[in-house]
Amino acid sequence: MIRKVMITAGACAWLALLSSPATAATDKANNADTYRLLSLFGDVFERVRNEYVEPVSDEELIEAALNGMLTSLDPHSGYLNPKSFRDMQVQTKGEFGGLGIEVTMENGWVKVISPIDDTPAAKAGLQPNDFITHLNGEPVQGLSLNDAVDRMRGPVNTDLKVTVRRDGQAPFEVTLTRAVIKIQTVKYKLQDNVGYIRVSQFVESTDTNLRKAIDQLKKDGGANLQGFVLDLRNNPGGLLDQAVAVAGDFLDKGEIVSTRSRHPEDTQRFNAHGKDLTDGMPLVVLINDGSASASEIVAGALQDHRRAILLGTKSFGKGSVQTIMPLKDHGAMRLTTARYYTPSGRSIQAVGIEPDIKVLPSKVEALNQPNDHFGRSEASLPHALKNDTLPKTQAKPESDAKTEDGKAPAPAAPQPQPAADGKTPPAGAPSALMEALRMGDPATDYQLARAIDLLRGLSLYKGAAKAN
């Protein structure tokens, strides 16, 4: 009876174990050991169901056993019960309910890989490498990753209080309101004649929307378009085919990624077969420690082909591929089935991708110069020669201007600058530079400002080379 329950509840998993080619090739002694171990599992299962202090269903025990077996392999393998499997299928379509946060498990705590743009988690200020230690006051240690994720999900408009531990800070609590997460994975705008494209995740619609963004930016920029910035910061990854398609949008030919599994004959290579939609224009890719998995595939391919300059900080370092294997009437298993390699043959597993130019997130403020140094130049010196190439009607340099009393005017007092919503902040409001960095605005996003400067330099150099 025990084995009947075990085989019924996890038929696909156990039958795969007993009938796989590798097992069939082993000798009789190994087969006997396998059956003895399965018998041991049956004995433990029977004792737990009969003698545990509280009743527990057979289904719960089997699901926990399956999940324990898979999660012991690596952080990304696991069992998905039917509900979790449905949630995962919905998420890859770009719309789901929850907090909007990509997580993994580390040392028994939930570790944030990346919050997803414009979600409750992102708006609350959660950051990559934050650790979630408690959910509604209850510790997460002892929970599986799937259990922790299930507790973070819930009805829309309900609150969840999470306790966060961040390096260099005391633990703090954040209350998040669950919402329907509709992911707009591609955002774009023309910024100072540079096409800025932000890709926050790789779902089924990502490549289609990226192509539309590139086409629109080329129309908006016209002949003045100097290049593109592809922002993959805090992009936790997603679908492999979408990563391959996105990388192919910037390459004419060549390998994008290869995957190598346990059996050499299962090696796969994915190549670019289309056309560089940007016509070879300068490209800078922004990455950081929240850039993982599929986003690392794109960054690695563009770096190896020297198609783009990578700028930012080292990526997350997830160099493995997971396959979702449905189990009839019992959800699915997520199993790590391969490692992936960039076109040059390097694995980024646990080491990440180093950017070509390392730029830490920073804020830059103009130095306040003393009044006696304000506007100092050749034109401010007494009896300075006039510029003989300027039209006579042109006004004198600003430094030569005098007030009615014959003195040079005092420098104007700094004026409040409009906020992002176009409104002027009230007096005493914190400077935008003192606020958290906002991606997509070079005034407060130092990494993006550096990327735009780099593109301008490349564009000027390319134009000079053509002229010569």
C-alpha–C-alpha distance, residues 188 and 229, integer Å: 10
Does 388 qualify as catalytic in the annotation?
no
Q: Which residue is catalytic, options 77, 114, 144, 293?
A: 293
Catalytic residue among 207, 231, 249, 304: 304
pLDDT for residue 4: 28
| pLDDT at residue 120, as a whole number | 93
User: In this predicted structure, what is the pLDDT of residue 6?
Assistant: 24
Catalytic residue status for 344: no
CA distance 265 to 285: 34
pLDDT of residue 439: 55
95-182 shares its CATH topology with 186-358: no
CATH code: domain 95-182 is 2.30.42.10
**In contact, 188 and 158? CB cutoff 8 Å:** no
Give pLDDT, residue 268.
97
pLDDT digits (tens, 9 = 90+) for 169-196: 999 999 999 998 777 899 999 999 999 9
Domain boundaries defined on the chain: 2-78, 95-182, 186-358
Classify burial at 241, counting beta carbons within 10 Å of its beta carbon; exposed 0-12, middle 13-18, buried 19 or more: middle
In 77-129, which residue ranges form alpha helices assigned H by DSSP?
82-91, 120-123
- Under-70 pLDDT residues of the chain: 1-27, 94-97, 368-375, 393-439, 464-468
Q: How far is CA 58 from CA 44, 61, 332, 333, 335, in A?
A: 12, 5, 18, 19, 23
Comparing C-alpha atoms, which of 94, 418, 426 is closest to residue 242? 94
Q: Which of the listed CATH numbers 3.20.20.70, 3.40.50.1370, 3.90.226.10, 3.40.50.300 matches domain 186-358?
A: 3.90.226.10
Amino acid 174: pLDDT: 94
Q: Tens digit of pLDDT for each residue in 416-429?
A: 333 333 333 333 33
- Is 431 known to be catalytic? no
Are 333 and 70 within 8 A, CB to CB? yes
Catalytic residue selected from 207, 291, 318, 320: 318
- Residue 110 has what pLDDT? 94
Q: Encode pLDDT of 320-343 as tens digits.
A: 999 999 998 889 999 999 999 999
